[in-house]
């Protein structure tokens, strides 16, 4: 999976959680919780969606690394083979 594909997947899942948000206007380096007004339930659903789509484990201890779009893309790229 290329980084662009991972980014597209991340944005797709965030779009499911915050359908009203203009994802193109979000600073990819800013905290998602603030940018999208998401709570811990939203974040858990985000993690579950990534877990199910990519078949990778995302331990709770790693949650802080998914706090921004850029962070999530980098984290997932590092987890995926190739």
Q: Does 51 bind another protein (CB under 8 A)?
A: yes
Q: Which is nearer to another protein, 60 or 82 (CB)?
A: 60
Closest CA to 72 of 13, 2, 7: 7
- Binding segment for another protein among 6-14, 24-32, 35-43, 69-77 (CB under 8 A)? 35-43
Q: Which of 75, 73, 70 is nearest to 59 (CA)?
A: 75
Q: In sequence order, what are the residues at sequence separation of 6 or more whose Cβ sits closer than 8 angstroms to the Cβ of residue 16?
A: 45, 49
Binding site for another protein (CB under 8 A): 18-20, 33, 37, 39-41, 44-45, 47-48, 51-52, 57-61
């Amino acid at each position: 999976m290329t980084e662009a594909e991972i980014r597209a997947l991340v944005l797709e899942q965030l779009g499911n959680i915050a359908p009203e948000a203009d994802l193109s206007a979000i600073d990819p380096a800013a905290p998602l919780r603030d940018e999208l007004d998401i709570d811990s339930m939203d974040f858990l659903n985000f993690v579950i969606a990534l877990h199910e789509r990519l078949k990778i484990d995302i331990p709770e201890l790693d949650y802080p690394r998914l706090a921004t779009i850029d962070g999530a893309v980098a984290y997932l790229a590092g987890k995926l083979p190739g």
